Structure 1
Amino acid sequence: MSIGLAFFHGWGLSSAFWNKLRAALPDYPHAVIDRGYFGGTCNTPWHLADQWVAIGHSKGWADALHYTRQHQGAPEWAATVSLCGFTHFCARHADDAGQARRVVERMVKVFGKAPHEVLNDFLSRCELTDCLPTSDQALTLLALQHDLTALIDMDVSQLFESLALPHLALAAQDDVIVSPALSATTWSSTPHTELIWHPTGGHALGHAHADWCAQAIRRFVTTVNRPGHG
């Protein structure tokens, strides 16, 4: 069976985030889902492969879990790959790993007044300033604010567990957005999941260290494509 790769970017980004990684994975059909924050569009040639692996960066991984239920004609995933991803972003209780709710709530509040400032600051902390929109790209403010707000209460833990899919998680030990503690808590005890660490990369894995990510993904996809798997 042929396998394709479906790419979902994270908050404050566009499908251009994936350019380096896609170039390093030329042997598979690609589908690209763009949230339209900067006016981008989707390209979903589902007919080009028999099975599809969803690859999501940050919140994009959680978006991928919902995608097949929200879009008629979309395939069921054979597996998923997370780069700096999570099942929940904000801490759910005092002892939980994750960002403090007040941090994201403040981002939402400031975004309403100074969206460019919030976006620039966030992508700077992600080590993704080269992914900032160009001067001729207008921000789709409603989509950005809606998805930023959704991070506060988002939790796809039960949905993920119900899918029982093979899963690869790539995480960076110096990620200041999704801490190593959150990555470890999220993936280390999850069935069917392999967690691989890179010492650097921040919140930019996939854009950063694209060749390393591609190697890990290619190896993982070969296991998904074995007879009887998926």
Structure 2
Amino acid sequence: MRIALLHGWGFDACVWDALAPLLAGDVARMDRGYFGAPVESERPDLMIGHSLGAMLLARRWPDVPLVAINGFDRFCGVDAVAPRVVQRMVKRFGENPAKVLEDFRASIDGGPAPAIVSRERLGEDLALLADQAPAPAHRAPVLVLQTEDDPLLPPALRLKAFGRATGRTGGAVCGHGGHLLPLTQAAWCAAQIADFAR
């Protein structure tokens, strides 16, 4: 099985260091290139996205099964993050991108960031988070993995991500782990993914 992994905003492929070795298959760690060279992947059999990575993968390959870890199909709007929060980040990013990145990572216990290589790509992806347009439907099965103590995603967003509240999408919730489940609860994530991929 070919598995593609994609990290979220403000991170890189290192977010998969704990989880990737636990996955059964040919794993490709994609990278948006915020801190180094971008890394792409061929069309996979299964894709796993963290945070913004889940939204990006869902839009790129809407007919490939998806695991969304701390993920969402739309970040801003009704039953999601207030648009003013991201708009404020976008404005501040234009003035001091390193400080915005530092503050964001601190808010989710993400540790220090590497030196920014592509301010443009970081800015473009931050703007994507501000998009309030309805998410396109994902035509393949989706598994949404969330945590009760995520400091970034409001409960309503976690509940409704990828249509989970309607029963169209499977989901599991971990009691704790914050917004970095691939690092903090790698074994739990791996077990959920293995069940989903059967």
Give the TM-score normalised by structure 1.
Answer: 0.79
Cα distance 1:126–1:157, how it changes in 2: closer, same or farther (>3 A)? same
User: What is the aligned counterpart of 2:94 among 112, 115, 135?
Assistant: 112
| Unpaired stretches in structure 1, ≥5 consecutive residues | 70-75, 223-230
8 Å Cα contact 2:98-2:116 kept in structure 1: no
1:189 to 166, 176, 180: 166
RMSD, aligned CA: 1.8
- Specify the code of the residue in structure 1 equivalent to 2:47: A
Instruction: State the distance in 1 between where 2:152 and 2:177 align.
Output: 12
Q: Give the 3-state SS of the residue equivalent to 2:45 in structure 1.
A: strand
Contact in 1 for aligned 2:149/2:177 (Cα 8 Å): yes
Instruction: Choose from 155, 159, 163 the match for 1:180.
Output: 155
> How many residue pairs were aligned?
196
1:52 matched to which residue of 2? Answer: 45
Question: Aligned partners of 1:112 and 1:85: how far apart in 2?
Answer: 25
Q: Which residue of 2 aligns with 1:158?
A: 136
1:141-196 alpha-carbon deviations (Å, 9 max, x no partner): 01101110111115463332xx1x111110011112112221112222141x2110
Q: Secondary structure at the match of 1:105?
A: helix
Matched residue, 2:181:
205
1:14 CA drift (Å):
0.5
- Structure number with greater Rg is 1
Distance in 2 between the 1:62 and 1:198 partners?
20
From the superposition, tell whether residues 155 and 20 of structure 1 become closer, same or farther in structure 2 (CA, over 3 Å): farther
- C-alpha separation in 2, matches of 1:178 and 1:44: 27
For residue 195 of structure 2, what is the aligned residue in structure 1? 219
**Rounded Cα–Cα distance in structure 2 between residues aligned with 1:169 and 1:154:** 20
Match of 2:38 among 20, 41, 55: 41
- Report the alpha carbon displacement of residue 8 of structure 1 after superposing the two structures with TM: 0.9
What amino acid sits opposite 1:88 in the alignment?
A: R
Provide the C-alpha distance between the structure 2 equivalents of 1:180 and 1:151, rounded to a whole number of angstroms.
Answer: 17
**CA separation in 2, counterparts of 1:29 and 1:43?**
14
CA pair 182-176 structure 1, distance change in 2 beyond 3 A: same
Q: After TM superposition, which residue ranges in structure 1, 4 or more long, deviate above 3 angstroms? A: none
Distance 1:45 1:143, change over 3 A: closer
TM-score scaled by structure 2?
A: 0.91
1:31 paired with 2:28, answer yes
Give percent identity, aligned residues only: 33
Structure 2: any 5+ residue segments left out of the alignment?
A: none
SS in 1 for 2:184: coil
Instruction: Name the structure 1 match of 2:146.
Output: 171
